[in-house]
Structure 1
Amino acid sequence: MTVERILPTEESYELLGLAREIARGELAPRVDDYEARGEFPRDVLRTLGRAGLLGLPYPEADGGGGQPYEVYLQVLETFASSWLAIAEAVSVHALSCFPVAAYGTERQRKSLPDMLGGDLLGAYCLSEPQGGSDAGALTTRADRDGDYYRLTGTKAWITHGGKADFYTIFCRTGGPGPEGISCVVAEAGTPGLLPQTPERLMGLRSSPPAQIVFDDARVSTDRLVGEEGSGFRIAMTALDSGRLGIAACAVGLAQAAVDYASAYAKEREQFGRKIGSFQGLGFMLADMATQVSAARALTLAAARLKDAGRPFSVEAAKAKLFATDTAMKVTTDAVQVLGGYGFVADHPVERWFREAKLLQIVEGTNQIQRLVIARSLVR
């Protein structure tokens, strides 16, 4: 189903049309093969970069697309409806570029055209094996040694780990707590930066994350982004936008599930009738469609706040929470609509069901989103 859009410019409509063409022509025909083989689609991301679709929310002067976040998120949604791993990869790459784009030195920013154009793929290194949601307690250290930092520690669940060309790393340069955290950017070939064996995932098998071990990795001090001690603030600011990216991915996944389940219900017959004519199932589809529309509206409302330069952190948390919970429920219901066939890999709803679970965890678990929202209410 094509969802009616209201976009700010004619260029935005053309951009979304291009995204749909790529999603249908390039992504949808390849997803099953890549997922089955567990192969990372680096060539697809290069194609998106050449099409100008990897740096959409960044200024054109930096090599980006100069698009509002409202438009960028709808492109992400479109990709997610065909291949979630691609949409998530675009979102994580945009997240990885943010510190340099927002806080980088003039020298660091010279790399932005290659980063935003897709020639250089990024990874965002915040989570750790024991830290999880407690990012302020991270233990990866960067100790000063003349003109270098020596990095020691381990990052976990790193999307593009072992595939990225640069790593945006949050590490401890000072004492305990958030105020001791800084941000550095390291190249993939840095000695001592050691990607580990990719994780075996329940979903998104074409884009498995990996741990990154830092074994006395030397990173030049001119790779420090912002000031020492500003890393936690940079990380949290980036995550506000990243949560909207994941919300958009969830909306796209859920919309695909609604469309597939509805099409199935129009064709499948039981008791001499199309199953979509049964009120119990029809009401389920109606609830699914309504929840997806609500998730989309909440996500785009937060994006408009961001585009207007207004505070959007709490609204981003609400959008991420509601959209990913919706994706989990809607994909579960889509499996139910198909009955036994929903449990068969010949139909994509079982994959969407597995993938939806991850979206409730990444970019801050939904329990963390509830904590953010609750604190805003009683602050």
Structure 2
Amino acid sequence: MSFMNSLRPGGRHGLSSREERDPIGIAVAAVSKLAQSDLIDRVGLRRQAEQVVYSTTRNGFRVATAAGRRFARAGSRSQGARPASATSSGVFDLTPTEDEQMLVDVVRELAAEVLRPAAAGADEACSAPAEVLAAAQEVGLPVLGVPEELGGIMEERSAMAGTLVAEALATGDMGLAVATLAPGAVATAIGLWGTEAQQQTYLPAFTGDGGEAGVPVAALSIAEPTVLFDPFALSTTAQRDGDGYVLDGVKSAVVRGAEAELFVVAAMLDGTPALFLVESGTPGLEVEADPSMGVRAAGLSRLHLSGVRLGADALLGDTDAIAYAECVRLSRLAWCALAVGTGQAVLDYVKDYVNEREAFGEPISHRQSVAFMVADIAIELQAMRLVTWKAASRAARGQDFAREVALARQLCTERGMRIGLDGVQLLGGHGFVKEHPVERWYRDLRAVGVMEGVVMV
């Protein structure tokens, strides 16, 4: 089935239900539609309209977060359901299972038919098109990490499946992959560490039991706008206040922050990092656009927290940083998978280019310097893939994977950037212009070593 034939415009007048409720969404959608209209060409306002769109996405805004849906509170505070660890055959075998392969095939089709054609426009607009987000929901990406007994699609821990899906999505575009995977990171975190009350309160919205409102926009927020940021030495603080907490600080790399209805925010509690569930519309929350060099389609923002008061049930996981450390590792694993997928896109593109591009009467791939560079990309990419898959396999089985994910992140950070650079170099002057996608992939690959949180498997 073709994904392009299954997409449907959401809401009235082409606006999604979220845009209908969100004044910021309405404003951005309005100026975008204005810039696409033929009328402005007839009246000579093309340049002015494009400047409005550019200023909206570049300079951004700083406003209170939109008031999202009301999540119905559940009463029990006992430990929630936890996904079972995957079984091990005792043999080193990273071959995807039949179910995983079927899921990856569907996601690859999504990446090729939906993400890749929309990537350039989404990068320019600093936002993901509604049809791309809708297609990701139809595939079930938001509930990939949720246990089946809680309405998800996986019987076991899905770190391996999540890694394969992230890699497949990134072959289309890393920025759009991040935008589509971000809500699932929050759902996965609640499924892994949430209490029974938290799971009953929030997960129904992700699993399709939330009514006509659809899957909520949600963001996992760990990073901060700090030089040499250390996720275990946060500037954002959580102070105990009676039975609850008060959060103060600034978080960066928040996906679709102006639209988000639920945040998982990392903050220091009694000198130890912890995770908190924060609903949009909570007093003291403000969001500000923060366009970046890469992954621009994810619509990154900054989240300002000033005296944000939360109840005792807002704490997600433990206060010993055990859940938090696993969250950081699973997030880094997801970024490694995104790097592998984007690297594969670079390799596929440059192979065709060097075989078709001719100089001095023959394809440039006949030159050893070109052929060796392409071969190096393939070799490094396979190494990145294997070490990432090994870390994901150990995570899925509930084994310690700290060493493996550290190796994967180091390799994907260094070699991923090198693959992006070589991709640009192989295209020569064409690699520097937006006519070809390698310059965007190069910018995206540089995010792997600096991003924390956002996505998770």
Superposition TM-score, scaled by structure 1 size: 0.86
Would you say the 8 A contact 1:199–1:210 is kept in 2?
A: yes
Would you say the 8 A contact 1:168–1:185 is kept in 2?
A: yes
The residue identity in structure 1 corresponding to 2:277 is V
Match of 1:193 among 269, 274, 285: 285
Shift, 1:86, TM fit: 2.4
Q: Comparing 118-127 with 336-345, which one deviates more in the overlay?
A: 118-127
Change (3 A) 1:332 1:63: same
Shift, 1:82, TM fit: 0.7
The residue number in structure 2 matching 1:292 is 381
Per-residue Cα deviation, 1:171-217 (whole angstroms, up to 9, x for no partner): 2342xx32xx4322011121211112x11321222223222111222
Aligned length: 353
Distance 2:245 2:251 in 1: 17
The residue number in structure 2 matching 1:374 is none
Distance 2:197 2:104 in 1: 33
Shift, 1:273, TM fit: 0.7
The residue identity in structure 1 corresponding to 2:449 is Q
Unaligned ranges ≥5, structure 1: 365-379
Match of 1:87 among 159, 163, 177: 177
Per-residue Cα deviation, 1:268-307 (whole angstroms, up to 9, x for no partner): 1101111111121111111111111111111111111112
Match of 1:16 among 81, 90, 104: 104
Q: Comparing 117-126 with 212-221, which one deviates more in the overlay?
A: 117-126
- 1:302 paired with 2:391, answer yes
Would you say the 8 A contact 2:128–2:176 is kept in 1?
A: no
Distance 2:207 2:332 in 1: 19
Map residues 184-333 of structure 1 onto 2, 5 A cutoff: 184-196=276-288, 198-227=289-318, 229-230=319-320, 232-333=321-422
Shift, 1:78, TM fit: 1.1
Would you say the 8 A contact 1:95–1:124 is kept in 2?
A: yes
Shift, 1:319, TM fit: 1.0
The residue identity in structure 1 corresponding to 2:350 is A
Which structure's CA Rg is the greater one?
A: 2
The residue identity in structure 2 corresponding to 1:81 is T
Q: Comparing 248-257 with 38-47, which one deviates more in the overlay?
A: 38-47
Alignment root-mean-square deviation, CA:
2.3
Shift, 1:244, TM fit: 1.1
Map residues 1-379 of structure 1 onto 2, 5 A cutoff: 7-41=95-129, 43-66=131-154, 68-110=158-200, 111-115=202-206, 119-130=215-226, 132-174=228-270, 177-178=271-272, 181-196=273-288, 198-227=289-318, 229-230=319-320, 232-363=321-452
Distance 1:106 1:309 in 2: 21
Match of 1:183, SS? strand
> Which runs of structure 1 show a deviation greater than 6 angstroms over 4 or more consecutive aligned residues?
none
Shift, 1:256, TM fit: 0.6
Q: Identical aligned pairs, as a percentage?
A: 33
The residue identity in structure 2 corresponding to 1:206 is A
Instruction: Name which structure has the greater RCO, CA cutoff 8 Å, separation 6+.
Output: 2
Shift, 1:260, TM fit: 0.6
Change (3 A) 1:188 1:350: same
Distance 2:338 2:388 in 1: 10
The residue number in structure 2 matching 1:367 is none
Would you say the 8 A contact 2:261–2:279 is kept in 1?
A: yes
Change (3 A) 1:340 1:81: same
Distance 1:136 1:11 in 2: 36
Superposition TM-score, scaled by structure 2 size: 0.72
